[in-house]
Each structure stands twice: as structure tokens, then as C-alpha cells.
Amino acid sequence: MDFGLTSEHQLLREMAYKFGQQEIVPGIQERDREAKSDRSILEKMGAAGLLGVSIPEAYGGSGTDYISLGLVCEELERADTSARVVMSVHSGLHSLTLLQWGTEEQKKRWLPQLASGSKVGAFGLTEPSAGSDAISLKTTARRDGDSYILNGEKTWISLADYADQFLVVAKLADSGDKPTFVAFIVDRTLAGFHSKPLKGKLGVRAGNTGQIFFDDVRVPADCRLGEEGDGFKIAMSALDHGRYTVASGAVGIITACLDACTVYCHDRKVQGEEIGRKQLVQQMIANMVAGRDIGRLLYYQVGWMKNAGLRHTREVSMAKWQNCANAFKAANDAVEIHGAYGYCDEFPVERYFRNSRGAMIYEGTHEIHTIVQAEYELGYRSDKPLKVTLPPFEGA
């Protein structure tokens, strides 16, 4: 197991860092204040090749490995969480799940446009009454000839107003007390589909989040992923991919906190001495460094497992759980170090604090991941082999 980064990894990290600092950071304070999402950033990410990271060249992607995806997410979240969310939803939850579960015809039909960014993908699982309890979802799919009729709604959907297509999980309308779940790729142009934005978010204000609705939406049967009954497994494998991007992105927030605090610790003086000389401040800085370095090792391990084609549900849960908790702690300490200045948006740490809180909810709450880790250790949970696995990286 070698966690050393290749020269290609280093170049990609540098490119993603420059993209974030040049295309996302300028204007982010204003966009965050105004809760304004800029769709042009999606187009720029596509043009830069970021949306095709970890998609094989045969389907129009860059053919880079899965650690590359983590590096890009880390550097984008270092700029702002809203940019990493694009990678989580479009690349992780949507594209990688399509790569894993799609037929050859489906992958050739959709992945090239997703990899180039000419089409944007999103994910629809959460509902008003089904979050952590995903098995209670109420959106239904009824078979009607060579189509399915979808009815229901999804909420807290990132890119709800921007995405061209959605990976949606529903239950068969006639499946009775033991629901049968089905997954579909749903095009937003279908009759009966509409979306609306959610307002008033605590964090990730520069990102688009909304609700999507299905009113007798007729979806062709060839847009179904997997078989009837595979829907829940598809959703859970999608969350494995999404959790990887969130875990790696959380390291970016910690790094951003260190960037801001290092400058402030040298600039801010108390009684003629830099506050960086104060031991309690150094303790907070040291904790951030530990969170950053341990967090990288956790997501590098998951990336290595993805490269090898190994199931990694427990490991990615651990990485998401710990990295997001450490990111929130780092942001809280960054506000503390900045004092009163950290409580206003003159400095970016206030935004990091608000953004980092959301990651402890989405892609599995802090509590859910705590239970997952305990149940693995106690033997109440184990991983069964999936009949469809993510293709291992060819260079692994």
C-alpha cells in the first residue's frame, strides 16, 4: 500500500488549486452574502476537465485514478464548499454510480456528456419524510408498458435547478409491505418534472439546492439502472462514492483554516507579540494539522481501495465521519483564533464554520456514521459482495 503521490497527482492537485483560487475565490464573499449561485462555474469546471476526473477515457473522461478525484475535491473545497459539492453530486453520486451500474449502452449514451460538462448530473434520494431513514421513501414508480410512471418529490437536492439529469430512487407502486426499490436516470425535460430552489440555508449559500417533483413523469424503461430491486443497493453504492468526495473535501476546509490562521497569527499582535506565540493558539493550530494529515491518510486509503476495486463502505464511513468532525472543529477554532473578526464575513473563517456544519448532516449524519462504525466492530454489520462493483483503475 503506497500512499505516495505520483507526479501526475501533484500536477492535478496544483491545477485544481489554481482553478479554485482563480475561478472560485474571486467574488465568493459576495456570492455567499447574496446566496447567489453562479452556473458559469459549472461550465468552467467542465472546460478544465475537472468533471471528467476518474471517468475512463473510453467514456470521454481523463482516465485518472480515484485518488485524483479526492485531490480535486480537497483543493476545490479549500476555495469554497459549493465547488466541491458539484464534484460530489455530479461526479461522485451520479457519474461514478452510472459507471458502476450502467449497461454499456447507458454508459456510452450518458458518460461522455457528463465527463465534458455539456450535461450536468444530480442525485435524488432524500425526501421530506425520508432522510437517514432512506428505506421509508414515498416516491413511486409504476410500470406501464415500456415506461415507468414516477410520482413524488425529493428535497435537499444539490444542483436541483441546474442539473440536466437526475439519478432517482423510487419504490415500485405495487410492491406492498416489503418495498422493491428501483433507480432511474430522469431527464429534466420530461413532462411532469419541475424543481424549485430552497432558500435560507445556514451554509453553502453559493451553491444551488432545491426540491424536485414528479407528477406522472413517464420514464423510458431503458433509463432504469440495474434491475427492479437493485435500487437500494444502487443508492448505497452511490453514497459510498459521495462520502469519499465529502471526506476528501473536508480536508480542504481544514487546509483553508490553516491558510487563514497562519496569516492572522503572524499579523495579529497582542502586547507586541504575535498571537502565534501563544501556546493555546498553537494547540489549536496543531490540532488542525493533525486533522489535515490524518484526514488525508484516511481518504488516500479509500482511494487506494477504489483503485483496487475493493468494497470500502466501512472505510469511507470512517473517513467521512472523522474528517467532517475535524473540519468543523478546525473551523470553530479558526473563528476562536480570529476573535471578533472571526464572527463576521470580513474574514473567510466565518464561512468555513457555516459550510463545515452541513457536511456533518449530508451523506450520512454524524450519528449514523457513529452507529455504522460500532455495528461493524460488534459484528452486527458486514459487507456482502456486490454483484456490480466499480471498475478498478486500470493502472492499479
DSSP string, 178-198: S--EEEEEEETTSTTEEEEE-
What would the mean pLDDT of 49-56 be, rounded to a whole number?
A: 96
Residue length, the chain?
A: 396
pLDDT at 357: 98
Q: Is the pLDDT of residue 388 over 80?
A: no
Q: What is the 3-state secondary structure (H, E, C) of 274-338?
A: EHHHCHHHHHHHHHHHHHHHHHHHHHHHHHHHHHCCCCCHHHHHHHHHHHHHHHHHHHHHHHHHH
**Whole-Å CA distances, 259 to 35, 254, 346, 347:** 24, 9, 15, 12
Number of H helices, E strands in the chain: 12, 10
Class of domain 232-378: mainly alpha
Every domain of the chain and the residues it spans: 7-119, 123-228, 232-378
Q: Are strands 209-220 and 193-197 parallel, antiparallel or unpaired?
A: antiparallel
Q: Are strands 165-172 and 121-124 parallel, antiparallel or unpaired?
A: parallel
Q: How far apart are CA 108 and CA 353, in angstroms?
A: 41
What would the mean pLDDT of 379-392 be, rounded to a whole number?
A: 82
Q: Is the pLDDT of residue 308 over 80?
A: yes
Q: Supply the pTM of this predicted model.
A: 0.96
What would the mean pLDDT of 20-47 be, rounded to a whole number?
A: 96
75 is catalytic: no
Residue in 77, 127, 315, 363 annotated catalytic: 363
**Set of cell numbers at residue 156:** 435537499
pLDDT at 390: 83
pLDDT at 393: 84
**Set of cell numbers at residue 174:** 405495487
pLDDT at 339: 97
pLDDT at 192: 98
Residue 131 pLDDT level (bands cut at 50, 70, 90): confident
pLDDT at 291: 98
CATH, domain range 123-228: 2.40.110.10
- Average pLDDT of the chain to the nearest whole number: 96
Sequence-separated (6 or more) residues with CB below 8 Å from residue 162: 37, 39, 42, 120, 122, 208
What would the mean pLDDT of 58-86 be, rounded to a whole number?
A: 97
Q: Is the pLDDT of residue 310 over 70?
A: yes
DSSP class of 115? H
Q: Is the pLDDT of residue 387 over 80?
A: no
pLDDT at 396: 54
What would the mean pLDDT of 110-117 be, rounded to a whole number?
A: 97
Q: How far apart are CA 392 and CA 307, in angstroms?
A: 5
pLDDT at 383: 84
Confirm if 168 and 150 have CB atoms less than 8 A apart.
yes
pLDDT tens track for 224-281: 999 999 999 999 999 999 999 999 999 999 999 999 999 999 999 999 999 999 999 9
Q: Is the pLDDT of residue 317 over 90?
A: yes
The rounded percent of the chain whose pLDDT value lies above 70 is 98
CATH superfamily of the domain spanning 7-119: Acyl-CoA dehydrogenase/oxidase, N-terminal domain (1.10.540.10)
Q: Is the pLDDT of residue 315 over 80?
A: yes
Q: How far apart are CA 363 and CA 241, in angstroms?
A: 10
pLDDT at 172: 95
Nearest to 140 by CA among 214, 68, 195, 85: 214
What would the mean pLDDT of 330-346 be, rounded to a whole number?
A: 97
Residue 300 pLDDT level (bands cut at 50, 70, 90): very high
DSSP per-residue letters across 128-179: TTBSS-GGG---EEEEETTEEEEEEEEEEEETTTT-SEEEEEEEETT-TTS-
Residue 217 pLDDT level (bands cut at 50, 70, 90): very high
Residue 1 pLDDT level (bands cut at 50, 70, 90): low
DSSP class of 62? -
pLDDT at 342: 97
What would the mean pLDDT of 180-185 be, rounded to a whole number?
A: 97
pLDDT at 50: 97
